[in-house]
Each structure stands twice: as structure tokens, then as C-alpha cells.
Amino acid sequence: DTGVSQNPRHKITKRGQNVTFRCDPISEHNRLYWYRQTLGQGPEFLTYFQNEAQLEKSRLLSDRFSAERPKGSFSTLEIQRTEQGDSAMYLCASSFSGGNGYTFGSGTRLTVV
């Protein structure tokens, strides 16, 4: 297992375009989390899944954001009609319920121009 994998590593998009990011967690991990981190700040919780069920969404996750984990394995995070304020690092993490901690991916850095 190569850890948590996120793709793409970098994405530059024009304002108003839609973007989709992918996260492949550690295969044994049933929980998957999305976080957003802006420059100089700690990551902020967006949403989390247990298996394929999305159990919690932050108020930060506006209607333009949607996340899925269709088969309880990989997850996608889509942002529609991107705005400059969406520019950030989007981090994915996974864990096993009852386990010892989280494993983070390297993140996808989104720049909206």
C-alpha cells in the first residue's frame, strides 16, 4: 500500500469552471476525510465518509461543493463554478474506525485565476 494518494497534485483553473479531485485512501481504512487549507492557516474540516456514507458536512461546504465515495473506496470532491476564494490546498485523510490515527495525502493545490 502506498498510503493516501491524491490527484492531481496541482490544478489551475479559470473562475467559473468546474474541477474534480480524487482521493485514494489506504485500502483497509473505512473512514475518509476532506479538509481545506489556506495559506498560513491550519486545515479546516469539510466532510467525512464512513464507507460510502457521507456522515457529516461542514458549513464550509457550500452548495457548489459535492463529495462522493460511491463504493466505499476512492472519493471525489467536485467544486462547481469555482471562485477565487476556492484557491487552497485540499487535503484528504483516511483512518480505520477504532484505529490509531490518520494518514494524510499530499494534497491537491487549487489555484483559481
Partner 1 sequence: KNEVEQSPQNLTAQEGEFITINCSYSVGISALHWLQQHPGGGIVSLFMLSSGKKKHGRLIATINIQEKHSSLHITASHPRDSAVYICAVPYSGGGADGLTFGKGTHLIIQP
Cell 477504532 found at: 98
Rank residues 22 and 109 by Cβ distance to partner 1 and give the closer one. Answer: 109
Least CB distance to partner 1 at residue 89 (A): 5
**Secondary structure percentages of the chain, helix, strand, coil, to 5:** 5, 50, 50
Q: Exactly one of 5, 13, 20, 50 binds partner 1 (CB under 8 A); which one?
A: 50
Rank residues 53 and 71 by Cβ distance to partner 1 and give the closer one. Answer: 53
Please tell me whether the peptide bond between 8 and the residue prior to it is cis, using omega within 30 degrees of 0. Answer: yes
Rounded Cα distance between 25 and 6, Å, is: 9
Q: Exactly one of 11, 31, 69, 75 binds partner 1 (CB under 8 A); which one?
A: 31
- 102 interacts with partner 1 by CB under 8 A: yes
